[in-house]
Every structure is written in structure tokens, then in C-alpha cells.
Amino acid sequence: MEKPLAHPREEERLAALARLAVLDTGAEDSYDRLTLLASQVCDAPMALISLVDARRLWFKSRIGLDACEIGRDEGFCSFAIHKPDEVMVVPDMSLDPRFADHPLVAGPPHIRFYAGAPLVLASGLPVGTLCVNDMRPRTLEPWQLQSLRVLAKRVTKLLEKDEPAAKGGHEN
């Protein structure tokens, strides 16, 4: 399993993520509805709003996965944040050398397909992804990719709207 590299602006990216003050918060309907839409639009049994911090991928919202977080080196989204203008699509993860021996690919739930649209803040810094997974190799139609991008932008707007400074709060 290939380990993802740190983002070129990692310190800035982590500071921006911390300012959002969303890590380890409870479930929220506004995020869960967008995750459900991503799952439905992409006809995928798994969908996640994944935030990439220094040591883990933490899931603000999830469908089809029980875990609340996984290690950063184990996260597919850790690769997707390196190209913030692209939806990262891996049609068959078992054929991709980065992921072929990954525990979630080689073992249960035997993930085969991944598509992740980066969550890019107004500053241009990616903090995570809205992603979908499937247990069968596949791809998405262009309209599904566009829908995933649109939903990811909506997630980002929610994150930025919920930022303490945006609510009139103060940073410590």
C-alpha cells in the first residue's frame, strides 16, 4: 500500500481545517442529506464526507461504513486532496498499485471503486472530500461526476458558513 504524501501547503491546510472547528462534532442533517444525495446520484452503497487532518480521516457524515475515522495513511482521500480541481476516480482499486493491498480493498468490505471530489475552501486549500465507494469496479457518467462536484461545493459552503469566525466567534 502506497502512503500518501503530505499536501504541499500542509501546515496552512491543517490550520484552515482547525479554524472550521468541525472535527469530532456530532452528526448534522444538513451534511447527512448531502452524503445521501451523493450516494443516490452515484448509485453507490458508500458515501462519506471525509476531513483529512494530520493523523486521520474523520468522517463528518457517512453512509455504508460503520467507522467514524481511519488512519490518514489508510485513506483514499489523502491522495485526492493533492488535485483540488479534479474528482479522483479509481475504477478498480484492486488494479491500482497505490491501493491493491489496502486492507479495505484486499479484505472486507472489498472496496473496488472510489470517486472523491475535494472540499476546497475559498482560500484554495483542500480539507477533505465528498467521496463514494462501491464493492464493484465501475466508473461514473459525466453528469454524475458533475453532480459530485456540485455537492462537494455545497459541503464546503456549509463548512465555511459554520466556521466560528463566520458566526461572529473569535479564534483562540
Instruction: Please check whether residue 63 is in contact with residue 69, taking contact to mean a CB–CB distance below 8 angstroms.
Output: no
- Residues 85, 118: Cα–Cα separation, whole Å: 7
Residue with cell 479495505: 104
Domains of the chain, start order = 10-164 (3.30.450.40)
- The string of pLDDT tens digits covering residues 6-20 is 889 999 999 999 999
Residue with cell 472486507: 108
- Residues 105, 162: Cα–Cα separation, whole Å: 34
- The string of pLDDT tens digits covering residues 33-72 is 999 999 999 999 999 999 999 999 999 999 999 999 999 9
pTM, rounded to two decimals: 0.91
Would you say residue 165 has pLDDT above 70?
Answer: no
pLDDT the model gives residue 169: 42
The order of strands in the sheet holding 88-90 is: 69-71, 56-63, 46-52, 126-134, 113-120, 88-90
Per the structure block, which three cell numbers stand in for 44? Answer: 453507490
